[in-house]
Structures are given as structure tokens and as C-alpha cells.
Amino acid sequence: MTKNHGSPVFELDHVSFSYPGSRPVLRDIDFTIRQKERVCILGANGCGKSTLLKILAGILSPREGTFHAFQRKISGHDWNDDRFSSDYHRRVGFIFQNSEVQLFCSTVKDEIAFGLLQQKLPSDTAESRIRDISALLGIENLLNQTPFKLSGGEKKKVALASVLVMNPDVLILDEPTNGLDPRTQAWLIRLLNSLSAAGKTLISSTHNLELVSKISDRGILFAEDHRIASDSPIADLLGNADLLKSVNLVDESYGIGLK
């Protein structure tokens, strides 16, 4: 376990989840994530990583167990409260694995402005934020373009901009480097590290074991039975080849030549 960074952001106690008509995809999940931590969710395909991230992001609710966010117990009924839901999704930003899922406006500028409009910010404040985040991500030249015609890397930047413009406390990323070229991957790693240095809590999932040590300090590893197999510092997890093989995350060649 990593050291405590601050007050709890998320606390899961015996959380389980299943989709209608299917077997559980999360079983008896227990952990706490604190402010300013960098945590990566690891595991083979189908182990429940994306479902877990959606629970943290307020998209799904547990079927069993208790879920606390920002030291408040969250129930499915809370999402019917527009004020609570709006504030939660301002504080918790979620980047989907497929950026196109998040893009639905006619221009990049409208995409970035959408969340700000829901918050009913003054127009000059919204314009200032859009300019600042566009400059940070280097997409000023894309503001009047249609999101659907952009490259994969550009779409990822627009999806990030639409979340970061809200200044969330927590950033959750599902397979953040999926479909990105090496240059854009390196740019994203630098961005995430700068956000961590600024005090953001970062939670991600990835199959890329070369990436995890660059963007996280703690790993929560899932077994194929949809339970947590290990919750450890990333260095310890990556150094335990037998454990990674047992959960089908790596094959028999993993670790050869590393010692």
C-alpha cells in the first residue's frame, strides 16, 4: 500500500456489480483512494476494470456493498438530484477509452464549452477557460473544426479539454493511450504528471505495463474471477511475475532478461 496522501476520495466496502442477466463483473471489492494518489487498475480483459471506473465516475451504481465519495455515502437515488449530480461530475472527470463516445457537438469549441454551460458560468469566464485549456493542450487551431474529422490523438485532446476545463479534483482515464501514436503517448504522460504535481487525484486503467510506472504509484490488480488479487505499490506489482501470470495479465516470457 502507498502512504496516505490526504482525506479519502473514494471508499468501496464489499462492492459487487453485475449487469442484468449476467454473472457478477465485480465481486466483494474493498479499497480506499485518497487525495493526490496516482492509482492504476490492472487486469486481463473482462475482469471488471471499466465497470469499476464507471462506478467511481458516477455512471453506474453498485448492486451490493457501500460506496463513499468525498466522505459521503452514495446511493443510486443521489443521481436523481440534479445539483448533486452536476457537482459530482464537475469534481470527477472521466475520459472514456474511445474518445468518440464523448464527442457530440458540432465544433471543438462547443465541445469544450458544453460542461461550462451546464454550470451556468458567465460567458466571459467560460471564454477565458476555453482559451486557457486550448492553449494548455495545444488545440487552439482546432476550435472551429468538427470533432469527428480529427485524428485519434486530436480527439483524445479534445475529450481531455472538455473534462479539464471543469477543473476536476479527480481525473479517471480508461486505457488513456489506446490508439495513440508514440509522440502523443509521451505528451499525455507529461500532461498527467503535471496534473499530479498540481494536486489532482489520478486513476487509470491500462494493459500497457510500460506505461503504468510512469503515471501511477499504486496498482490495484484484478484476477479473472473479478476480485482484487493485489493492492500494492506499482514497483512491487511489476516485479511479481508469478502474480501477473496467475491473473493472465502477462505470458511466460514476462520478466526474462530484466534481472
Tens digit of each residue's pLDDT (9 = 90 or more) over 203-221: 999 878 888 999 999 999 9
pLDDT tens per residue across span 63-91: 999 999 999 999 988 999 989 999 999 99
| 6 vs 171, more confident | 171
DSSP-H helix ranges across 49-207: 49-56, 82-91, 108-118, 123-137, 152-164, 182-197
pLDDT of 104 strictly over 90: no
Domain 8-99+170-246 in this protein, CATH class: alpha beta
What is the rounded CA–CA span in Å between residue 20 and residue 78? Answer: 21
Angle at CA 94, nearest 5°, toward 189 and 211?
A: 25
Contacts of 39 by beta carbon, 8 Å cutoff, 6+ apart: 33, 202, 203, 204, 216, 217, 218, 219, 220
Domain residue limits, the chain: 8-99+170-246
Residue 225 is given by DSSP the state T
Percentage of the chain surpassing pLDDT 90? 73
Give the pairing of strands 38-42 and 218-222: parallel
DSSP-H helix ranges across the chain: 49-56, 82-91, 108-118, 123-137, 152-164, 182-197, 209-215, 234-238, 241-246
**Residue 259 has what pLDDT?**
41
pLDDT of 3 strictly over 80: no
**Residue 256 has what pLDDT?**
54
Residue 99 is given by DSSP the state G
Q: What is the amino acid identity at position 203?
A: I
